[in-house]
Amino acid sequence: MRPLSPADPDGSPSEAGTAGTGGQGLVVLLSGPNLDLLGERQPDIYGTATLRELVDMATEEAKAFGLSVEHHQSNHEGELVEQVHGARGRAVALVVNAGALSHYSWSLHDALAAFEGVVVELHLSNPAAREPWRHTSVVAPVSDGVIAGFGPLGYRLAMHAVARLLDGGRT
């Protein structure tokens, strides 16, 4: 895990980035293209939960670990890059379901490489068990770990993983 930077002094106290599960560390959850259609989009693959429901689930789980969640969804690569930049020095972790950008966005890769906290790559489905073009992730090399294939549960697992990693735990 890469070292954490100090909290942004201008950040609001409840969202200031403080390491460890005891404080109110901020986790920025990013959702990429087409995830705004969850609930309607290919429910056989992605399930019927809406993005709002997944974010609520993640927020509830994070709260149990003393973490807060800020969520951003965009269908635009550059906007997601900007969100990663905006998380620098402010958030303790990024949880990223970049949708299809996961498989080819080197600009997102580079932005994540410049983020100093924990990075968890997240997918509802298991891309490794799908079409060959989904087998490559350019986000994985700049992530601490990947959670994929567990559907909505993955959003809870990601927050759990963040909390454990911030605590220095890998068991």
Q: Which residues are catalytic?
A: 46, 123
φ, ψ of residue 150 to 5 degrees: the values are -100, 10
Question: CB 145: neighbour CB atoms within 10 A?
Answer: 16
Q: Decide whether 92 or 124 has the Cβ nearer to ligand DQA.
A: 124
Q: Is 102 in the site for ligand DQA (CB under 6 A)?
A: yes
Token duo for residue 14 = 């409840």
Q: Which of residues 126-165 bind ligand DQA (CB under 6 A)?
A: 127, 134
Least distance (Å) between residue 1 CB and ligand DQA: 23
| Residue-by-residue DSSP string for 86-100 | HHTTT-SEEEEE-GG
Q: Contact between 99 and ligand DQA (CB under 6 A)?
A: yes
Instruction: Specify the residue, 57 or 100, whose C-beta has the smaller distance to ligand DQA.
Output: 100
**Which of residues 71, 90, 109, 123 is near ligand DQA by CB under 6 A?**
123
Q: Give, as ranges, the residues between 45 and 84 that touch ligand DQA (CB under 6 A).
A: none
Which among 167, 138, 155 is positioned nearest to 4, based on CA atoms? 167
Q: Can you read off the two tokens belonging to residue 150?
A: 């567990």
Q: Token pair of 59, please?
A: 């927020």
Report which DSSP code applies to 70: E
The residue of the chain with the least Cβ separation from ligand DQA equals 99
Taking every pair of Cα atoms in the chain, the longest distance, rounded to a whole number of angstroms, is 45
Residue 21 Cβ vs ligand DQA, minimum distance, rounded to whole Å: 26
Binding site for ligand DQA (CB under 6 A): 34, 97, 99-100, 102, 123-125, 127, 134
